Structure formats: structure tokens, C-alpha cells
């Protein structure tokens, strides 16, 4: 048997005609591209898709997570990355320390007033397109600390959140499910609805000059970025 026919030495079956040499010199229509793969794809040997659909598929399968630990949930988040649960199996497990390299931010924990502006800044530093998974009850509503004087009532007050994973804390399996759901949405090209964000960073000088602002005017520079918490309006 010559080396021109390697396949036949492996498989007995020759169907469909994979003998390219024969097909090249044979009569009739040229079917040299016939193959199992072609059978699967139908008439054309090429995959035709839209570029953005392809990009969505790629994005959903290669997500860099932001290494972002806030509170209790971050322990379960580490467990999700680590042995046993191993989020990397799903194409979403490379924690990046810098927000500039991250696609997905898992918000694992309670957000308090002092951390709000910092989280906003970290989110702003992530390149587009970016996605957020809110992990745990605190990122949904403030969770068990909702009544606290210092606790922001959910991450959505500050940044848009694509997927909420409830639990206190959610089990690693739940987080994996949440991330898988996010991947599914990204693959399908579904974008998250634009949410109203009550808490924004603003320059101090742009705030309406109410009593509080006038009181702080000696301490805060006009150009400093600030976040104003209106606790009474919180849910």
C-alpha cells in the first residue's frame, strides 16, 4: 500500500469518496472537496456567519474575569476559580488583577458608601464591552445589611448589572450557573437593558448648592469627583 492512500490503511470504509487522488483525476464533476465535514455543512464548504455573531461567540467563550474581592462572597468566588469547581472549564476563569485587562466583573459583596466611588472607577476602567455579574444578596439589595447607615442598597445603584446570583453567599455552583447564563447571553448577542443609575461620580462644583454642599465647601475642592448618596430615596 502506498503512502498516497494513508486513510485506507486506517479505515476500511471509503465512503464518502475521500480518495482525493481518484477524484482529482476522475471523470465528471470535480468533487475533491467532498468530505464528512462538507456533508455536515451542506452545499458550501464554508461557514457563513455574521462577523458580530462570530465575535459574540468568541467573547462568550473567552472571558477574563476581574480579580475583585470585596467581602464574604469573594471566598466562594475563589473556590469557584480553584480546584473542584474550576470555572476555567467554561472558558471564563482567568482572573486579571487589572481592570484594563478584564471583561467581566463579578461583584462579590457588600458595597458601602466609601467603596462606591472606587467601584465605579474600577468599572469605568474596564474596556468595552464589559459585563457585570452581581454575586450575593448584598449586590441585589444590600442583603442582610440593607438597614445599615453606610450600605449601598445593591450594586445596581452604581453600575449596571447583567446577571444577579442570589444567595448569602451563593454556592460556587450557583456562580458557575450565573456565569454560564451570562456566556449564553453574550453568545446570543443579547445586551443588558440600560438601567438608571442613581449614583454617579460628579464634580463637586456641579452639585446643587444645598445645605450639605455648602457645609462641605471648605473641605472639598470644586473639581474633586464625588458621589452623593441620597439615602432617603433608596429602595
C-beta of 57 vs 115, nearer to another protein: 115
C-beta of 14 vs 125, nearer to another protein: 125
Q: What is the DSSP pairing of strand 131-135 with strand 104-108?
A: parallel
Kindly state the smallest distance separating residue 49's Cβ from another protein, in Å: 36
C-beta of 53 vs 150, nearer to another protein: 150
Q: Are 63 and 75 in contact (CB under 8 A)?
A: no
Whole-number Å distance between alpha carbons of 51 and 79 = 36
C-beta of 109 vs 134, nearer to another protein: 109
C-beta of 187 vs 228, nearer to another protein: 228
Binding site for another protein (CB under 8 A): 67-72, 74-76, 78-79, 82-84, 97, 99, 109-110, 112-119, 121-122, 138, 144-145, 147-151, 168-169, 171, 201, 204, 207, 212-213, 215-216, 219-221, 224-232
C-beta of 47 vs 83, nearer to another protein: 83
Kindly state the smallest distance separating residue 158's Cβ from another protein, in Å: 11
C-beta of 122 vs 186, nearer to another protein: 122
Q: Are 163 and 133 in contact (CB under 8 A)?
A: yes
Return all residues near 115 (Cβ < 8 A) that are at least 6 apart.
70
Kindly state the smallest distance separating residue 84's Cβ from another protein, in Å: 5
Residue 21's H or E segment, with its range, is helix 20-25
Kindly state the smallest distance separating residue 80's Cβ from another protein, in Å: 10
Geometric angle at alpha carbon 136, from 131 and 139, rounded to 5°: 65
Kindly state the smallest distance separating residue 99's Cβ from another protein, in Å: 8
Listed as own residue / partner, the contacts of 32-39 with beta carbons closer than 8 Å and 24 or more positions apart are none
Q: Residue 145 gets which letter from DSSP?
A: G
CA–CA distances in Å: residue 13 to residues 9, 97, 149: 10, 53, 75
Kindly state the smallest distance separating residue 227's Cβ from another protein, in Å: 5
Kindly state the smallest distance separating residue 125's Cβ from another protein, in Å: 10
Listed as own residue / partner, the contacts of 188-196 with beta carbons closer than 8 Å and 24 or more positions apart are 188/56, 189/52, 189/53, 189/56, 192/131, 192/160, 192/161, 192/162, 194/160, 195/156, 195/160, 195/161
Amino acid at each position: 500500500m502506498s503512502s498516497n492512500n494513508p486513510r485506507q490503511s486506517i479505515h476500511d470504509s471509503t465512503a464518502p469518496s475521500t480518495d482525493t487522488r481518484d477524484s482529482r483525476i476522475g471523470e465528471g464533476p470535480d468533487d475533491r472537496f467532498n468530505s464528512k465535514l462538507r456533508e455536515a455543512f451542506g452545499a458550501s464548504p464554508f461557514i457563513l456567519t455574521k462577523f458580530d455573531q462570530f465575535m459574540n461567540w468568541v467573547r462568550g467563550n473567552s472571558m477574563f474575569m476581574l480579580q475583585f474581592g470585596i467581602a464574604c462572597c469573594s471566598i466562594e468566588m475563589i473556590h469557584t476559580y480553584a480546584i473542584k469547581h474550576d470555572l476555567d472549564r467554561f472558558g471564563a476563569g482567568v482572573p486579571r488583577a487589572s481592570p484594563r485587562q478584564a471583561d467581566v466583573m463579578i461583584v462579590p459583596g457588600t458595597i458601602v458608601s466609601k467603596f462606591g466611588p472606587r467601584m465605579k472607577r474600577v468599572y469605568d476602567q474596564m474596556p468595552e464591552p464589559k459585563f457585570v455579574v452581581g454575586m450575593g444578596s448584598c449586590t441585589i439589595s444590600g442583603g442582610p445589611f440593607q438597614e445599615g447607615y453606610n450600605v449601598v442598597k445593591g450594586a445596581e445603584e452604581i453600575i449596571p448589572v447583567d446577571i444577579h446570583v442570589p444567595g448569602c453567599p451563593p454556592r460556587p455552583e450557583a456562580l458557575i450557573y450565573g456565569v454560564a447564563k451570562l456566556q449564553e447571553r453574550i453568545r446570543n448577542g443579547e445586551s443588558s437593558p440600560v438601567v438608571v443609575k442613581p449614583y454617579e461620580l460628579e464634580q463637586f462644583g456641579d452639585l446643587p448648592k444645598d445645605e450639605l454642599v455648602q457645609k462641605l465647601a471648605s473641605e472639598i475642592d470644586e473639581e474633586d469627583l464625588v458621589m452623593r448618596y441620597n439615602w432617603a430615596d433608596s429602595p
